[in-house]
């Protein structure tokens, strides 16, 4: 429980960016260790510069520390140079507030925004002296709790975690704290604690479920080991965001981070129905903050941090039902100050110049970013991105005419049913953007940046059954697109082209739709030196493929193979609220290029999420197989 800072201080001059390990941030909370009953170490499994601005972790940090009987401190992944020195000097993984060993806490909560952070979890566990496998831990070790979007399929890391929180964490961490406090007070051991968590349904405990397999490798069933454990674990949903105006005191780092601004979440969830988007599916239903609450949070964040920019966050911020009044009210309030306002996530068909002008009234005018995602009209129907080329050209024309000079366009490669022609259409669209911009502005210094990401099918989406495009085919299409952009010497010079090759996407695909057998691959990769797989300078595709082969795991079987409706998916026992039959029908609609309207403004499509629709979910065992989700009238 003692601070390791005296040992740490001696090695700080020997590492890169030592300030990221010293703590002392504005608005950090340090509580007396003995004053509380429950102690959390919260981890973002990436570098400090990425993890500190993370909204989810900051929210949980404040929610927990507001409790008198709970404390929460933070820890982040250490860079390889620091890891090496920590091992040499026997310094354990530590928190940045009081530099206490992570192994001394009751719970280690790890928030996974992406599956590529899994190896960093193992590094932290090993440095903390916590056994990698949950089955080897004793009462002396913390419970390891996974959360975040990647926790909606925690099966690949089932061996390494004690539990996973599905969905919104605000209430969940408080309920977990109560369970830990009560079991400790009653003298219960680790097994009793895991049983209490599993039986409460507050989190998924992998050790309380058994997985059996069919001869061909598919899952036969996932079943609880006791009658008191639920067959399916439901996600947590915070229904009224106005009741949870966090973070109230955002952290301000001493070191440089990726986001030097305050951030306010203006609503959570999305009903646009983009079939590739896991975030939009698993965060349903839409829950808005009132414009009054947003304004109060913006003011509180600025006063608490001293930042000069505030990002209004959501999956599609311009879709807020009061966005016009909200933007005007904030622009009026901060006019004449140095405060900048931004909408980091804006859809083409939700953007308008009046809104953009309100947000840039103080003179700050950054580039605009839009995500058509698919190059052709056909592929946008497949993914249900209901944006036409005319929509895009009309929007960028208005932007260029109003004085903007830079537009960024985001697309994906490898979408289901995609052809070379669909991808080449991206180049033609980008060139038309430049032509239009020059025409309406009368200038030639118009720029358009095209960024391409490889598509990875994700759980709890209509594309969870889809085959992933192999990395060779992805790279070939990207090469075709690059050549097509450069084929016009004039327009091509005005188009920036950024892309990632297809290899990291295959590893992400393996981890995203993997089952418990993939855990052996993760461990082998880590033991072979795998760290920071989300960073290109550390990622090794060859290492992952060699370790998969050594573990007897067929990567193609998990990535490029199409699934059938009858197959039990590794995450079927985790309830995101979405009806499996609805997801399957949406997958069929995708293949048939059928678009589905946004259900906020159209009749309900019975996705299964909204309680008020008079339905409930009934599931259970039958002949050894988990039933698909079935909706019945109440």
Mean pLDDT value of segment 525-539: 97
Average pLDDT, integer, range 392-398: 88
CA atoms in the 13 A half-sphere facing the CB of 170: 16
Pairing of strands 309-313, 262-265: parallel
Q: Which of 570, 555, 574, 562 is nearest to 505 (CA)?
A: 555
Of 12-16, 316-320, 476-480, minimum mean pLDDT range: 316-320
Which pLDDT score, from 0 to 100, does residue 627 have? 34
What residues contact 122, with CB distance under 8 A and at least 6 apart?
Answer: 132, 160, 522, 523, 526
Q: What is the mean pLDDT of residues 238-267?
A: 94
CA nearest 168: which of 55, 290, 47, 301?
55
Reading the block at residue 309, the tokens are 């920019």
pLDDT digits (tens, 9 = 90+) for 450-462: 999 999 999 999 9
Compute the average pLDDT of residues 514-527: 98
| Surface-to-core class of residue 190, CB atoms within 10 Å of its CB (0-12 exposed, 13-18 middle, 19+ buried) | middle
In Å, how far are 27, 37, 264, 629 from 185, measured between CA atoms? 31, 9, 38, 39
Chain Cα centroid distance, residue 190: 30
626, 572 in Cβ contact below 8 A?
yes
- Global confidence as pTM: 0.93
At residue 364, the pLDDT reads 62
DSSP annotation of 206: G
- Mean pLDDT value across residues 38-64: 97
User: What average pLDDT does range 551-578 have in this prediction?
Assistant: 97
pLDDT average, residue stretch 529-557: 97
Q: What is the pLDDT of residue 64?
A: 98
Q: What share of the chain is helix, strand, coil (3-state, %, to 5)?
A: 40, 15, 40
What is d(CA 66, CA 62) in angstroms, rounded to the nearest whole number? 6
488-510 per-position pLDDT tens digit: 999 999 999 999 899 999 999 99
pLDDT at 593: 96
CB neighbour list of residue 433: distance below 8 Å, 6 or more residues apart: 392, 393, 396, 407, 409, 448
Report CA torsion sign: 304, 305, 310, 316: negative
pLDDT score of 615: 36
Q: For the chain, give the percent of residues with pLDDT over 90.
A: 81
pLDDT band (50, 70, 90) for residue 617: very low
**CA–CA gap between residue 543 and residue 529 (Å, rounded):** 9
User: Mean of the per-residue pLDDT values for the chain?
Assistant: 92
State the residue for tokens 């354990």: 92
Question: Which of the pair, 354 or 72, is modelled with greater confidence?
Answer: 72
Q: How many CB atoms lie within 10 A of CB 620?
A: 9
Q: Which residues pair with 94 in a beta bridge?
A: 101
pLDDT digits (tens, 9 = 90+) for 287-299: 999 999 999 999 9
Predicted pLDDT of residue 351: 72
Position 356 confidence tier, pLDDT thresholds 50, 70, 90: confident
Q: Please give the average per-residue pLDDT across 238-247, as a whole number.
A: 96
Q: What's the pLDDT at 626?
A: 36
Beta bridge partners of 250: none
Check residue 345 and give its pLDDT.
66
The per-residue pLDDT for 366 is: 62
- CA 387 – CA 590 distance, rounded (Å): 15
**Share of residues in the chain with pLDDT > 70 (%):** 95
The 3-state DSSP class for residue 320 equals coil
Residue 621's pLDDT is 38
Say whether pLDDT at 360 is over 80. Answer: no
Note the pLDDT tens digit of each residue in 123-172: 999 999 999 999 999 999 999 999 999 999 999 999 999 999 999 999 99
**240 preceded by a cis bond (ω within 30 of 0):** no
pLDDT band at 630 (very low <50, low <70, confident <90, very high): very low
Least confident stretch, 159-163, 317-321, 356-360: 356-360
pLDDT tens per residue, range 159-202: 999 999 999 999 999 999 999 999 999 999 999 999 999 999 99
Of the ranges 86-90, 190-194, 308-312, 530-534, which one carries the lowest mean pLDDT score? 308-312
The tokens 């999956």 sit on which residue? 315
pLDDT value at residue 91: 98
What is the pLDDT at residue 1? 67
79-98 pLDDT, tens digit per residue, is: 999 999 999 999 999 999 99
Q: How many CA atoms lie within 13 A of 298 on its CB side?
A: 25
Q: Could you tell me how far CA 398 lies from the centroid of its own chain?
A: 32
Average pLDDT over residues 567-575: 97
pLDDT at residue 629, as a whole number: 32
User: Residue 377 above 80 pLDDT?
Assistant: yes
CA atoms in the 13 A half-sphere facing the CB of 544: 24
| Residue 166, pLDDT score | 97
* Residue 245 pLDDT: 97
């Amino acid at each position: 429980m003692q601070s390791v800072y005296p040992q740490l201080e001696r090695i700080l001059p020997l590492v890169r960016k030592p300030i990221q390990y010293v703590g002392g941030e504005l608005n950090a909370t340090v509580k007396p260790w003995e004053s509380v009953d429950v102690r959390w170490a919260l981890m973002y499994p990436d570098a400090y510069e990425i993890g500190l601005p993370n909204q989810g972790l900051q929210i949980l940090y404040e929610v927990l520390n507001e409790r008198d009987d709970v404390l929460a401190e933070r820890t982040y992944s250490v860079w390889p140079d620091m890891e090496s020195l920590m091992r040499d000097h026997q310094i354990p993984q530590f928190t940045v507030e009081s530099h206490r060993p992570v192994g001394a806490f009751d719970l280690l909560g790890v928030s996974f925004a992406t599956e590529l952070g899994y190896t960093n979890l193992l590094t932290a566990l090993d440095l903390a002296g916590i056994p990698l496998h949950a089955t080897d831990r004793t009462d002396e070790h913390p419970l390891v709790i996974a959360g975040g979007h990647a926790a909606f399929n925690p099966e690949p890391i089932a061996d390494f975690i004690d539990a996973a929180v599905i969905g919104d964490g605000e209430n969940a961490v408080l309920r977990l704290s109560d369970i830990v406090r009560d079991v400790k007070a009653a003298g219960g051991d680790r097994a009793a604690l895991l049983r209490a968590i599993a039986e409460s349904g507050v989190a998924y405990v992998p050790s309380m479920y058994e997985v059996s397999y069919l001869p061909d490798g598919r899952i036969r069933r996932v079943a609880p080991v006791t009658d008191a454990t639920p067959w399916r674990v439901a996600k947590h949903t915070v229904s009224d965001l106005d009741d949870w105006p966090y973070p109230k005191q955002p952290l301000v780092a001493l070191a440089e981070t990726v986001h030097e601004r305050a951030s306010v979440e203006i609503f959570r969830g999305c009903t646009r129905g983009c079939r590739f988007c896991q975030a939009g599916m698993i965060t349903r239903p839409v829950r808005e903050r009132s414009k009054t609450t947003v304004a109060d949070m913006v003011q509180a964040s600025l006063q608490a941090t001293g930042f000069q920019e505030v990002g209004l966050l959501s999956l599609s911020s311009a879709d807020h039902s009061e966005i016009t009044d909200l933007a005007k009210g904030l622009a009026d309030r901060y006019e004449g100050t140095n405060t900048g306002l931004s909408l980091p996530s804006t859809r083409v068909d939700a953007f308008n110049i009046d809104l953009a002008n309100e947000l840039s009234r103080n003179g700050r005018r950054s580039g605009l970013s839009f995500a058509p995602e698919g190059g052709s009209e056909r592929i946008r129907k497949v993914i249900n991105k209901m944006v036409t080329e005319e929509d895009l050209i009309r929007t960028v024309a208005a932007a260029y005419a109003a004085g903007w000079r830079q537009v960024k366009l985001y697309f994906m490669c490898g979408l289901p049913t995609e052809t070379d022609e669909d991808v080449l259409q991206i180049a033609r669209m980008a060139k038309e953007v430049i032509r239009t911009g020059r025409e309406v502005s009368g200038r030639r210094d118009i720029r358009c940046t095209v960024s391409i990401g490889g598509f990875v099918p994700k759980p709890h989406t209509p594309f969870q059954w889809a085959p992933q495009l192999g990395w060779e085919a992805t790279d070939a299409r990207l090469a075709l697109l690059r050549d097509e952009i450069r084929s016009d010497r004039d327009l091509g010079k005005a188009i920036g082209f950024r892309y990632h090759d297809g290899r990291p996407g295959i590893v992400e695909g393996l981890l995203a739709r993997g089952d418990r057998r993939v855990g052996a691959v993760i461990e082998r990769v880590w033991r072979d030196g795998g760290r920071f797989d989300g960073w290109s300078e550390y990622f090794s595709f060859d290492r992952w493929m060699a370790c998969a082969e050594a573990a007897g795991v067929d990567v193609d079987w998990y990535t490029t193979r199409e699934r059938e409706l009858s197959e039990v998916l590794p995450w079927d026992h985790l309830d995101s609220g979405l009806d499996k039959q609805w997801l399957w029908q949406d997958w069929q609609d995708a293949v048939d290029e059928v678009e589905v309207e946004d259900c906020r403004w159209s009749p309900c499509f019975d996705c299964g999420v909204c309680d008020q629709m008079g339905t409930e979910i009934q599931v259970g065992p039958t002949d050894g197989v988990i039933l698909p989700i079935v909706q019945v009238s109440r």
